Amino acid sequence: MLDLMRLPRDLIEYVADRPGHDYRYALDIARITHLGWEPRVSFAEGLERTVRWYQDHQDWWRPLKSGEYWEFYRQNYRPLPR
């Protein structure tokens, strides 16, 4: 992702992994490909498309980071009962 965004690799921060963490999020598409499904784009192309979309649509996500979204949420939705 850093390469796609033209950012330096020294932004990578390595952290200790939790036991079992990787296994929980591992994807196995063998069963669905056995049924004949195939992805339309490669993982690399999909990642690049996603990064480009966010770069091209900052007007969509910038308000989420600014806190504007949460103010809208507080004004328009009641807290869930406990």
Q: Compute CA 17 distance to the chain's CA centroid, rounded to the nearest angstrom.
A: 19
Q: Would residue 2 count as lying in a domain?
A: no
Q: For 39-55, write each residue's pLDDT tens digit.
A: 999 999 999 999 999 99
DSSP states of 9-76 as a string? Answer: GGG----PPPTTHHHHH----HHHHHTT---SS-HHHHHHHHHHHHHHTHHHHHHHHHTHHHHHHHHH
Name the one residue in this structure whose structure tokens are 């063998």. 30
Q: Compute CA 59 distance to the chain's CA centroid, rounded to the nearest angstrom.
A: 17
**pTM for the full predicted model:** 0.64
Task: Please give the residue range of the domain that contains residue 34.
Answer: 9-76
Q: Would residue 3 count as lying in a domain?
A: no
Task: Report the mean per-residue pLDDT for the chain.
Answer: 86
Q: Which residue has the higher pLDDT, 32 or 20?
A: 32
Count how many domains the chain has: 1
Range from 18-22, 25-29, 37-41 carrying the lowest mean pLDDT: 18-22
% of the chain at pLDDT higher than 70:
90
Terminal-residue alpha carbon distance, the chain: 40
Q: Would residue 17 count as lying in a domain?
A: yes
Q: Would residue 24 count as lying in a domain?
A: yes
Q: Is the pLDDT of residue 12 over 90?
A: yes
Q: Would residue 69 count as lying in a domain?
A: yes
Q: Would residue 49 count as lying in a domain?
A: yes
Q: Would residue 81 count as lying in a domain?
A: no
Q: Rounded to an integer, what distance in angstroms lies between the CA atom of residue 68 and that of residue 56?
A: 20
Q: Would residue 65 count as lying in a domain?
A: yes
